[in-house]
A and B are shown apart, each in its own frame.
Chain A
Amino acid sequence: MTSVPHPEATRPTPGTSVRSAARGGAIRTYLRLELRRTLRDRRTLLFSLLVPPVVFLWVGVSSGNTATEIGPGTNLAASLLVSIALFGALLTASSGGAGVAVERAQGWTRQLRLTPLEPWAYVLVKVLASMAVGAVSVLVTFAVGWYGGARMPASAWVLCALIAWCGSLVFAAFGLLMGYLLPTESVLRFLNLILVVLSFAGGMFLPFNDGTVLAEVSRFMPTYGLAELARAPLGGGTFELLPVINVVAWAAIFCAGAAWRFRRDTARM
């Protein structure tokens, strides 16, 4: 049996504008489906939306914390709240980044390479989806914090939330890099552990006394700069350059590392 070939099967190459419009639609649909999938995931709900508020209610709400003023209209509970909300945002963003490696192990990124979607667009979708969940995480934690007695000026509520949320972007790159470096099957568990260690080592929850060795070491931790910046709107303290340098340097390191592994992984002919 033979069939007549159909020469009209080839279609002309779509123009650049057609392609970018199609890409925009593809990214929007992917983002919607990815968000839906993430919000169904019990793990996400647990670590992003449940753990941070519960931790605050557990350790943050004591009469000591709510009664201790650390600035005008600001209590110690507020400072703890910002740290915990930041931790939730970091956990969410880094899980999103590490998800790239998890899905790679399932052959998903290979499947995507058989579609017109560019690899960078895939990473963008993963990061945007986890940032969206991170925003919800910060909002929920802050709402519970207000209910639990944390007090700070209105401007601080807004600024702290924004800085914690935007800053977590650095850890999306961290998660992406860790996903490539760690064994895939246990990457998410490892990641949680690493984040807890980094958070304490960076003085995020319990700042170290000035002058001690630990205090010096903590300044080099990737969590230190973010924690300082996120809490900066609380105390009418002076602007410090060190946390900014810390954040920029770690952002550069994580992004460069992730980009390096990512390029190696997606090298095409």
Chain B
Amino acid sequence: MTSTPAPAIAVTGLVKEFRGPDGPVRAVDGLDLVVRPGEIVAFLGPNGAGKTTTLDMVLGLTPPTSGTVRVFGKKPARAVADGQVAAALQDGGLLRDFTVLETVELTAALFGRTGPVTPFLERAGIAQIARRKVGKCSGGQQQRLRFAMALVSEPDLLLLDEPTTGMDVQGRRDFWTAIRHDAEAGRTVVFATHYLQEADTYADRIVLVSHGRLVADGTAAELKALAGSRSLEDVFLALTADDARGATYPTTAEGANR
């Protein structure tokens, strides 16, 4: 063990450009971010703000155009190979003709976890459909399955992209209860979401991005104070409106220390 633990995520000057019809498009435009072990961070921003692209780079699925990403002080691919990172992505990533149980069993094995998988199915609320083929599951059930896969991996860092889309109210409640339970045991969780209420209620810290740049970073209370509003939605709209581009908003000290 190292004396000073490396940050769960350390992103420096991160840029990602894609080729567009009118020249390169900057999806991520100079992002700096440090996530400490044990934090639950909500990653917010309008569509096209660069959330998914950033998560892809943290996972090593996409190389950055410039800048660096370190996960527990390692390159993302190394951290993934060491089984320290798991993710539940928005869609895809499931084989239709595996059963729910087989998919979770396989995921556990791939991460070298040898214990029984049933408790994880129960926590994700899909124990009763364990023998069902994945292709026969509803969207919400598949989302719970992705969650079970992420849980059974027992990662140090869990990345979730729109994790509760398609889930009903009870599903969301179960989901967040499980997430908080694991975070208390030391797991770092970063989630992208459109449900501001979830960010407000469950995140220790909110990172708001717009046009690939960080526009606010702090606790929900700090962000609300910043915009002088009681609603996170007001903050979101004020800071991510298109005319906000280029304007400098004060960001809280939290997370800026790198």
Chain A positions within 8 Å of B, measured between CB atoms, are 1-14, 19, 22-23, 25-26, 29-30, 33, 36-37, 40-41, 103, 106-108, 110-118, 268-269
Q: Evaluate contact between B204 and A269: CB separation under 8 angstroms.
A: no
Does the CB pair B183–A106 fall under 8 Å?
Answer: no
**Known interface pairs A2-B204, A25-B114, A106-B92. Does A10 touch B72 (Cβ–Cβ under 8 Å)?**
yes
The reply to whether B38 and A4 form a contact with Cβ atoms under 8 Å apart is: yes
Contact check, A9 vs B38: say whether CB atoms are below 8 A apart.
yes
- Near A by CB (< 8 A), chain B positions 27-73 give 36-40, 59-64, 72
Query: Would B156 and A3 count as touching, CB distance under 8 A?
Result: no
Question: Contact between B153 and A9 (Cβ–Cβ < 8 Å)?
Answer: no
Residues of B that sit less than 8 Å from A by CB: 1-2, 5-6, 8, 36-40, 59-64, 72, 74-77, 80-87, 89, 91-98, 102, 105-107, 109-112, 114, 153, 156, 183-188, 204-205, 219-220
Which 8 pairs between the two chains have the least Cβ-Cβ distance?
Answer: A107-B92, A22-B112, A111-B93, A29-B109, A6-B186, A6-B38, A269-B63, A9-B37
Roughly how many angstroms separate A122 CA and B39 CA in the complex, as a whole number?
33
By the criterion CB–CB under 8 Å, are A111 and B92 in contact? yes
Partner of A5, one of B36, B61, B77, B93: B36
Contacts A6-B186, A11-B84 known; A108 to B93 CB distance under 8 Å? yes
Please give the distance in Å from B237's CB to the nearest CB on chain A.
Answer: 23
Interface secondary structure of B, over-half rule: loop
User: A258 → chain B, closest Cβ, in Å?
Assistant: 21
A14→B81 CA distance, assembly (Å)? 10
Complex-state Cα separation, A117 to B81, whole angstroms:
7
Chain B residues contacting A33 (CB-CB under 8 Å) are 98, 102, 105-106
Q: Are A1 and B92 in contact (CB under 8 A)?
A: no
> Nearest residue in A to B107 (C-beta to C-beta)?
A115
With a cutoff of 8 Å between Cβ atoms, the chain A residues found around residue B63 in the complex are 268-269
Q: Which of B37, B81, B97 contacts A10 (CB 8 A)?
A: B37
Chain A minimum-CB-distance residue to B96: A106
Given contacts A40-B97, A103-B95, contact A1 B219 (CB under 8 A): yes
Query: In angstroms, how far is the closest chain B Cβ from the Cβ of A16?
Result: 11
A107 to B92, CA, bound (A): 5
Partner of A11, one of B59, B60, B156: B156
In the complex, chain B residues whose CB is within 8 Å of the CB of A117: 110
Are A14's CB and B82's CB within 8 A? yes
**B186 close to A9 (CB less than 8 A):** yes
| A3 & B183 in contact (Cβ 8 Å cutoff) | yes
Query: Which of B6, B110, B156, B187 meets A115, CB within 8 Å?
Result: B110
Q: Bound complex: CA of A36 vs CA of B99, how far in Å?
A: 11
Report 24 cross-chain contacts, Cβ distance below 8 Å, ordered by A residue. Answer: A1-B220, A3-B38, A4-B38, A5-B37, A6-B186, A9-B188, A10-B1, A14-B82, A19-B82, A26-B112, A29-B106, A30-B109, A33-B102, A106-B93, A106-B94, A106-B96, A111-B94, A113-B60, A114-B86, A114-B89, A116-B81, A116-B82, A118-B81, A269-B64
User: Is there an interface contact between A115 and B61, defined as CB atoms closer than 8 Å?
Assistant: no
A13–B6 alpha-carbon span in the complex (Å): 13
A7-B38, A106-B96, A269-B64 provided; 18 other pairs, C-beta below 8 A? A3-B183, A4-B38, A5-B37, A5-B38, A9-B37, A9-B38, A13-B82, A14-B83, A19-B82, A26-B111, A36-B102, A41-B97, A107-B89, A110-B61, A114-B89, A115-B153, A116-B83, A269-B76
B60 contacts A269, CB within 8 Å? yes
Instruction: Point out the residues of chain B lying under 8 angstroms from A40, CB to CB.
Output: 97
Contact of B5 with A112 in the complex, beta carbons under 8 Å: no
Whether the pair B97, A37 counts as a contact (CB closer than 8 A) is yes
Minimal beta-carbon separation of B83 from chain A (angstroms): 5
Contact B110 A9 (CB under 8 A): no
Q: Closest CB of chain A to B179's CB: distance in Å? A: 12
Q: Once the chains are docked, how many angstroms separate the CA of A13 from the CA of B80?
A: 11
What is the minimal beta-carbon distance from A144 to any residue of chain B, in angstroms?
A: 27
